[in-house]
Amino acid sequence: MDKHKPLLSVVVPIYNEGSHIVSSLKIIVETVSQITSTYELIVVDDGSKDDTWKHLDQAAKDMPGVIALRLSRNFGKEIAVCAGLENASGDAVIVMDGDLQHPPTLIPEMVRLWHEEGYEIVECVKETRGKEPIGKKIGASVFYSMLDKLTGYDLKGASDFKLLDQKVLKAWMDMHERVPFFRGMTAWLGFRRVELPFNVAEREVGRSRWGVLSLIRLGAEAIVSFSTIPLRMVSLVGIGFFVISIVLAIQTLMQKIQGNAVTGFTTVILLLLITGSILMISIGIVGEYIAAIYHEVKARPRYLISDKTIHSDLIGTDRE
Ligand code: UDP
Ligand code: MG
C-alpha cells in the first residue's frame, strides 16, 4: 500500500439486495480505483435473509480492496452504517447506499472537495427525491419541517451520501448513541462542510426496504434524540389546560352562587375527552424519552458481527 496517498474508505449498508448487488459494487470499485489505488470498500450485510451474504463473501474474495462484514441479524440501516464506519480506516470515508440511488459518479468531486479544498464533510443533498410514493414524499416533508422547528437542524434534502474526514469520523465515534441517526449526528458535529446537490437516481433493481411504520419509527427516534422540546410542550399544554380549568371553575362557581347552575353535561363530556386524550399523548411523549433512556442505560453493543471476509490484498494490514 502506498502510504503517501490518501486512503479512501467506502461504507455501503446492504439488506436483501441479492445477486444484483455485485454489479453495483463493481461500479463503485471501478470509480474509486480510478481515484486512488489505496481504498477499501466495506460492505455491511445487515442480516439479509436472502443470499446476499454469499455474494458479498465472494465479492470480498474476488474484488481487490473489498471487506465484507455480516451482522448477526437485521439491525437497521443506521446501525449497519455505524458498523461500517467503526471498521473504516481511511483518511476519508464515504457512506453510500448499495442500490446506486446515490450516484457513484459524484465520488470524484466529493474527494476533490475534501482533498483539494480542505472540506471536512462533503454532504450530497437531494435536489430531487426521485420516484417515491406520494405518501413518503409528504411524510418526509412533514418530518423534516417538524425536525427543523424542534431542533433547529434543517435536514430537508439531507441524505446519508456523505464524505467524512478522518477527524470527523473520530469525533463521530465519540458519540455513543445506542439509537444513532446518522444525518442528525453529522449535522450536530459541525466542521467545515460543503453541500453537493444531486438527483436521486431511480432504483434499478430490488425495492425500497422502508415501510411507513419503519419511517415513522426512524422519525420519532430522530426527534427524541435531538430535541427535548416535545417534553416541554407537554408541560406547556398542561399549564394551558390548568388556566382554562381555573377560568371554567370560577365561572361554574359564579353560576352556582347566582343560583342558576346549568346542567352542563356537554361541557363535562368534552372536557373529559379533551383532557383524557391530552394526558394520553403527554404520557406517550414522556414514554418515548423513557424508552430512549432505557436503551442508553442498557448499553448493549450496537451491533454484533458474525462474519468478516477481507480481500487477500488487505491481509496483513491493520484492517485484518
Ligand atoms: N438497508 C440496510 N438495512 C435495512 C434497510 C436497508 O442496510 O434494514 C440498506 C439497503 O440495502 C440500501 C440502503 O440501506 O443499500 C438504502 O435502503 P433503501 O434503498 O431500501 O432505502 P431508500 O432508498 O428507499 O430510502
Ligand atoms: Mg434506495
Residues with CB under 6 A from ligand 1: 13-15, 17, 46, 74, 76-77, 80, 97-99, 101, 208-210
Give the pLDDT of residue 223.
83
Atom 13, ligand 1: which residue's CA is nearest? Answer: 97
Is residue 23 within 8 A of residue 97, CB to CB? The reply is no
**Closest C-alpha to 44, from 8, 78, 70:** 70
- Does the pLDDT of residue 11 top 90, yes or no? yes
Query: How wide is the angle at C-alpha 110 spanned by C-alphas 117 and 207, nearest 5°?
Result: 165
Burial class (CB in 10 A: 0-12, 13-18, 19+), 296: middle
pLDDT of 5: 47
CA–CA distance, 26 with 55 (Å, rounded to integer): 12
CA of 242 relative to ligand 1 center, distance in Å: 46
Q: What is the pTM of this model?
A: 0.79
11 closest CA partner among 186, 131, 199? 186
Question: Counting ligands in written order, which one lies closest to the CA of residue 17?
Answer: 1
Q: What percent of the chain has pLDDT over 70?
A: 94
Atom from ligand 1 closest to the CA of residue 210: 20
C-alpha 278 – ligand 2 centre gap (Å):
37
State the average pLDDT for the chain.
85
C-alpha cell at 136: 413518503
User: Predicted confidence band at 307 (pLDDT cuts at 50, 70, 90)?
Assistant: very high
Question: What atom of ligand 1 comes closest to residue 14's alpha carbon?
Answer: 11
Give yes or no for residue 209 having a pLDDT over 90: no
How far apart (Å, rounded) are the C-alpha atoms in residues 91 and 270?
A: 62
- Nearest-atom index, ligand 1, CA of 132: 24
Ligand approaching nearest to the C-alpha of 13: 1
What's the complex ipTM? 0.94
Residue nearest to atom 22 of ligand 1 (CA): 208
